[in-house]
Amino acid sequence: MAEGFFKKLKAGRFDLDYIPIFESKLFFEGEKRERQIVNFTVLLALATVIATYGVITDSTASVIGAMIVAPLMTPIIASAAAISMGASKRAIRSMTLVVLGVLGVIGLAMLLTAVVPGGLISLTQNPQVSSRVSPGLLDLCIALAAGAAGAFAIGRQEIADSLAGVAIAISLVPPLCVVGITLFHGGFVEAGGAFLLFLTNFIAILVAVTTMFGLMGLPKAVRMEMKEETRKKTMVALIIASILLIGVLTVTSYQAIQATNDQVVAKEVVREWIGFAPYQVQKVVLSGEGVDVVLSGEGTLPPLETLSTMMQQKFDRKISLRLHTIPEKSVTYPSVLVGLAGSK
The CATH number of whichever domain residue 77 belongs to comes to 1.20.1080
Contact 154, 163 (CB under 8 A): yes
Query: How confident is the model over 236-258, as pLDDT tens digits?
Result: 888 888 898 899 889 888 888 88
Structural domain contains residue 147? yes
Res 20: pLDDT: 82
Same domain, 178 and 270: no
Using alpha carbons, select from 73, 14, 28 the residue that is nearest to residue 204.
73
Do 297 and 206 have their domain in common?
no
Within a domain: residue 80? yes
Query: Could you tell me the maximum CA-CA distance found in the chain, to the nearest angstrom?
Result: 96
Strand segments (E) across the chain: 279-287, 290-297, 320-326
In this prediction, residue 258 carries a pLDDT of 86
Q: Are residues 165 and 218 in the same domain?
A: yes
Q: Could you list the residue range(s) of the whole structural domain that residue 24 is in?
A: 2-226
Is residue 250 one of the residues assigned to a domain? no
Instruction: Give strand pairing partners of 324.
Output: 294
Whether 184 and 265 map to the same domain: the answer is: no
Q: Are residues 50 and 136 in the same domain?
A: yes
Quick one: 53 and 149 in the same domain?
Answer: yes
Domain identity same for 31 and 93: yes
Looking at the domain assignment, is residue 332 inside a domain? Answer: no
50/190 same-domain check = yes
| Residue 145 domain-assigned (yes or no) | yes
CATH number of the CATH domain containing 269: 3.30.70.1350
Residue 19 within a domain: yes
| 187 and 75 within one domain | yes
User: What is the pLDDT, as a whole number, of residue 220?
Assistant: 73
Q: Would you say residue 291 lies in a domain?
A: yes
Average pLDDT per 10 consecutive residues for the chain, totaling 344 residues: 55 68 85 90 95 92 90 91 84 93 96 86 82 88 89 76 65 93 91 93 91 81 64 81 89 85 88 87 81 86 87 84 80 58 47
Q: Is residue 235 part of a domain?
A: no
Model-wide pTM > 0.85: no
Q: How many domains does the chain have?
A: 2
**Same domain assignment for residues 269 and 189:** no
Single residue among 202, 226, 250 that ends a domain in this structure: 226
If asked whether residues 79 and 189 sit together in one domain, one would say yes
**CB of 207 within 8 A of CB of 144?**
yes
Do strands 290-297 and 279-287 pair parallel, antiparallel, or not at all (unpaired)? antiparallel
Rounded distance between C-alpha atoms, residue 14 and residue 163, angstroms: 18
Which residues does 120 contact at the CB level (< 8 Å), separation at least 6? 56, 57
Pairing mode, strands 279-287 and 320-326: unpaired
What are the tens digits of pLDDT across the range 63-93?
999 998 889 998 999 999 888 888 888 889 9
* The pLDDT of residue 18: 77
Contact call for residues 255 and 248 (beta carbons, < 8 A): no
Q: Does residue 175 share a domain with residue 68?
A: yes
What pLDDT sits at residue 121?
A: 78
